[in-house]
Amino acid sequence: MSSALPSGGSFLLPFILGAPLLAMFVIVFMPKDETKMIKIIAAMGTFVAMALSLFAFFAYDRSLGGMQFTLTIPWVPDLGVNLAFGVDGLSLPMLLLTNLIGFSSIYASWNMENRAKEFFVLLLILITGVMGTFIARDLFIFFLFYEIVVIPIYIMVIIWGSTKRVSKEYAGMKLTIYLLIGSAFLLVGMVALYLAAAKQGNPTFMFDQLAARQNLYSAPFQKAAFGLMLFGFGSLISMFPFHSWSPDGYAGAPTAVSMIHAGVLKKIGGYGLIRLGVYVLPLGAKYWAPVIAALAIANVLYAAFIALAQKDLKYVIGYSSVSHMGYVLIAIAALNPTSINGAVAMMFAHGVMSALIFSMIGFIYEKTHTRNIPDLGGLAHQMPRLAIGFIIGGMASLGLPSTVNFISEFTIFMGSIRVLPVQAILGIAGIIFTAVYTLRIIANVMFGPRRPEWDQLKDIRGPELVPLIVLGLVIFAAGIFPNILFGLVNSGVTSSGLQKVLETVSQAKMGGLF
């Protein structure tokens, strides 16, 4: 569909994508000792992208639905590759999430002095790459942006990462290997899907055209192709047992990378499973749904249980993130419009919440030089503003009503309990573990007697408050007024044709799993 804007709408997404890139190119030609100006330019680039994303979020015509702000430029016509951008109710929340976290991550790194020029150049490339995966309407372009993401993450972890429990080199290499192995399976699945579509007409990588030909893909083909996609995207979303790279990656990464990693990088996996897996290969999705549901429960319960035993703050939130992604996987396995609505909303909610917590942990580590929970305590006495941010993130994590996480989890369970009652009940039980480890770290890190050794610490102030203000405001705004988010997400499910696909696949008769 055409853009909802009367004029100029086709170039909105390229402007959003180009703002951080333009800032990056400006920084490249700046002297490396102009640290403050480098940070200001990086902040300006991400602010423009965030402001334009907010404009797109509210300018999107929910009554019309479908892909809007579209732009299609033939790139490799012989192969059917198009530089095609567009957003709908599924991808627009992810685009906004990326830029909310990207803007906040600049300020979470405001005190970065070690090779600041290179750091912010790579950070801006990373933000751009993640954005590109969500606005791409062409599978080839989607994969291209995904591969771009891997490069800066590896470099940033091994140069600016921390070396507490695992070495930053180990964390960076493990993270990269898992992502590349997953991308290899995605590439095979992508080529198979392209060749199958090419047999039915003109070759294409366009998502909508691939989906339009789904009735021409045989059931065995859909099962095999979805299996490849599941391995690739499942590794990215840290689906059990392909999850172990994730907590180590969080722990070894600098704060900004941890925020983007937890906030939006994992969401590429969930988004890809919905956009490419369920929408294009629905019979394959139904075939593999029992496996996804079973592994999702392992995510929820196993990772939450492991989080209880952690003493490093980043590892607690790292395993918590793996656990929360289990809820998204349960929703995808349920294969109904309500659960898919909840999955997309949960990805948005978890992204904002985890980015806020990781930014606060970054400030704690920067000021105390430790993330070991037994070494901390009573920090609310010296740093009350940081404590507020930490508590807001913690309360959102355990699904406190009035936060966006509560309504997202509630929607997931409402959608999945009718289809997967056992998994839904076990998933609800996982909330108990979440409450225990969340309240434990809040109590042991922020509360308790005043500890004199921390009296010299300075509370977050000035630019350091930006992540708390931006992300905290979103957590409550979308929680108190949920239709701001859910109205958009629901339009993406109903108007994209996904709802019809889900209704059709629910009636399909499938044989045994293997």
| 342-367 average pLDDT score | 91
Using the predicted structure, report yes or no on whether residue 114 has a pLDDT greater than 50. yes
Q: Per DSSP, which regions of 112-254 are E strands?
A: none
Residues 6+ apart with CB under 8 A from 298: 240, 241, 326
6 lies in a domain? no
Query: Which range, of 25-29, 83-87, 378-382, 495-499, averages the lowest pLDDT?
Result: 495-499
- 4 lies in a domain? no
Q: Is the pLDDT of residue 218 over 70?
A: yes
DSSP state of 7: S
Q: Is residue 291 part of a domain?
A: yes
- State how far the Cα of 270 lies from the Cα of 234, in Å rounded to an integer: 8
H-run or E-run covering 70:
strand 68-76
Query: Looking at residue 455, what is its pLDDT?
Result: 85
Is 110 contained in some domain?
yes
- 56 has pLDDT over 90: yes
Condensed to tens digits (0 to 9), the pLDDT of residues 389-406 reads 999 999 998 888 999 999
Nearest alpha-carbon partner for 271 in 219, 232, 245: 232
User: In terms of residue numbers, what domain contains 440?
Assistant: 11-506
Query: Which residue did the predictor score with more confidence, 76 or 346?
Result: 346
Q: Comparing 370 with 471, which gets the higher pLDDT?
A: 471
Kindly tell me if the per-residue pLDDT of 510 is higher than 60.
no
First to last CA, the chain: 40
Indicate the burial class of 332 (C-beta count within 10 angstroms; 0-12, 13-18, 19 or more): buried
Contacts 24+ apart (CB under 8 A), 503-506: 504/282, 505/282, 505/283, 505/285, 505/286, 505/335, 506/335, 506/336
Residue 1 lies in a domain: no
CA distance linking residue 399 with residue 32, whole number of Å:
43
CA distance 105 to 513: 43
Q: Would you say residue 466 has pLDDT above 90?
A: yes
- Is 514 part of any domain? no
Number of domains in the chain: 1
Does residue 225 form part of some domain? yes
Answer yes or no: is 349 within a domain.
yes
Spatial separation of the C-alpha atoms in residues 421 and 409, rounded to whole Å: 15
- For residue 493, give the amino acid letter: V
3-state helix/strand/coil string of 77-103: HHHCEEEEEEECCCCHHHHHHHHHHHH
- Tens digit of pLDDT for each residue in 223-244? 999 999 898 898 888 888 887 7
Quote the CA–CA distance of 263 and 266 in Å, as a whole number: 7
With 0-12 / 13-18 / 19 or more C-beta atoms within 10 angstroms meaning exposed / middle / buried, residue 446 is buried
User: Is pLDDT at 514 greater than 50 in this prediction?
Assistant: no
